Amino acid sequence: MALHAESHRLANGLTVLVHEDRQAPLAAVSVWYHVGSKNEVRGRTGLAHLFEHVMFEGSEHVTTGFFEPLQRVGGTLNGSTSQDRTNYWEVVPTGALELALWMEADRMGWLLPALSDERFAMQREVVLNERRQSYENRPYGLAHFAMLDALHQDGHPYKWPVIGDPADLRAASVDDARAFFSRYYHPGNASVAVAGDVSPDAVFALAEKLFGAIPPGPAIERVIAPTMAAPAARLMLEDQVELPRLYLAWPSPALFGADDAELDLAADMLANGKTSRLYRTLVHEQRMVADLGASQGSRELQGMFQVTATAAPGKSLIDIHDAVMAAIGAMAERGPTVPELAREQTHAEAAFLSRLQTLGGFGGKSDQLNFYQTYLGKPDAADDDLNRYLGATPTSVRDAVNEWLRPDRRVALSVVPSGRADLALPGSRPSGVA
């Protein structure tokens, strides 16, 4: 399953990765900047996500915006922002590779001359509208914000959402944005990966030609997060919803940390899919929940393990809470069975292989190269990553659940219909998120 890449580092610090795949006349470009919402500060949150939008609108020499030129030659493109990184990608016919790389170089090195007050203000309004549509006016949309706030103590850079606080966005000036861009969006804090019908030497030459003159930018200080988690809590959020929903969350290991893979497997065995323990009992047998899921949200500084369950009509959150905690307790005491673990390890291996079936986009080969380069400094670490899952044992999963998913580390959030605070878990206090 190895994903091999040739690697070259330009004098300005830009890492260039190339995976040759001649199956189709296509080239996938992926650019990752090692900056996300964790690099922001209170009072100026949301800038990383805002730049994801701004950087599609054009640069000094790409005056039409980024979509039209690439779509005209048959390409597709997109981007995203997380707490830890910002990425952009294009998949184009091989003959358009130089166009895609030139456009990426132009917004890396020549974005600021095109960043006017008007463009910044327009994209800020786009982001504020996105926040309203995706979170504020969506059922259960504010639950994620409430969990982030409750699970991380003051000063932790994961305490605020990636999309930012509206007051912070409105207070930000174009000068704030320019300073943020100059600090983080430069060759020394980026990597470019190309996968497809390409020659490594030709890509390296193009990278030198197009990116080589861009200054390296300042050294980036590593973000240090408080090690102590916020205390356990029971919270309640009233929302325009029909059915109550329960969120249970714990601080968990960071990406690639000890127990990270074990908790990922445990999440699937507990609540993901029809063969999971909680699906069999709460959905199939007892008809207690309308839907449920679990995840080990692996991030660079700290993870978040979460179980979510929406109550079926007439069912109580306290009964759901007790059933979930009983299932976690059983996993912590006895671990999974050998067949359970083997099944989820097979699913994990299939997921790894599936991600390598596409050249680019979210999760494709070029994206995977940048993922491992950014977080491990080793672009060909896919096999090492998979081996974390295949090497898990019933004992290691049991020990991870016992260590991390303790009741005294848990944040419980009840989202209930407006005016029905009585449906929340007993002892819940308002979350304070609105």
Name the one residue in this structure whose structure tokens are 């309640």. 236
Q: What is the DSSP secondary structure assignment for residue 43, as one 8-state letter?
A: T
Q: Which two structure tokens, joined as six digits, stand for 287?
A: 């008809």
Please answer whether residues 64 and 249 qualify as being in contact, where contact means their C-beta atoms are separated by less than 8 angstroms.
no
Q: Residue 141 is which amino acid? A: G
Domain boundaries, the chain: 6-211, 233-430
Q: Which two structure tokens, joined as six digits, stand for 254?
A: 């960071």
Please answer whether residues 89 and 362 qualify as being in contact, where contact means their C-beta atoms are separated by less than 8 angstroms.
yes
Burial of 145 (0-12, 13-18, 19+ CB in 10 A): buried
Q: Residue 305 is which amino acid? A: F
**Nearest-angstrom CA–CA distance, 19 and 200:** 7
Q: What is the DSSP secondary structure assignment for residue 378, as one 8-state letter?
A: -
Q: Return the SS3 of 289.
A: strand
The pLDDT assigned to 228 comes to 76
Distance of CA 282 to the CA centre of its chain: 28
**Nearest-angstrom CA–CA distance, 48 and 318:** 39
Strand partners, 89: 30, 78
Burial of 319 (0-12, 13-18, 19+ CB in 10 A): middle
The candidate with the shortest Cα–Cα distance to 241, out of 190, 175, 317, is: 317
Please answer whether residues 372 and 385 qualify as being in contact, where contact means their C-beta atoms are separated by less than 8 angstroms.
yes
**pLDDT for 218-236, tens place per residue?**
999 999 888 777 789 999 9
* Cα-Cα-Cα-Cα dihedral sign, residues 282, 283, 284, 286: positive
The pLDDT assigned to 187 comes to 98
The pLDDT assigned to 1 comes to 56
Strand partners, 195: 19, 28
Domain 233-430 CATH assignment equals 3.30.830.10: yes
**Domains 6-211 and 233-430 fall in the same CATH topology:** yes
**Nearest-angstrom CA–CA distance, 119 and 53:** 10
**Nearest-angstrom CA–CA distance, 2 and 94:** 23
In the chain (434 residues long), the average pLDDT of successive 10-residue segments reads 90 98 96 98 95 93 93 97 98 98 97 94 95 95 96 93 96 94 97 98 98 96 85 94 97 97 98 94 94 96 97 97 97 97 96 92 96 97 97 98 95 97 97 82
Map 74-127 to HEC letters: CCEEEEEECCCCEEEEEEEEHHHHHHHHHHHHHHHHCCHHHCCHHHHHHHHHHH
Query: Taking the model in full, what pTM does it have?
Result: 0.95
Q: Return the SS3 of 346.
A: helix
Could you name the CATH architecture of 6-211? 2-Layer Sandwich (3.30)
Q: What is the DSSP secondary structure assignment for residue 35, as one 8-state letter?
A: -
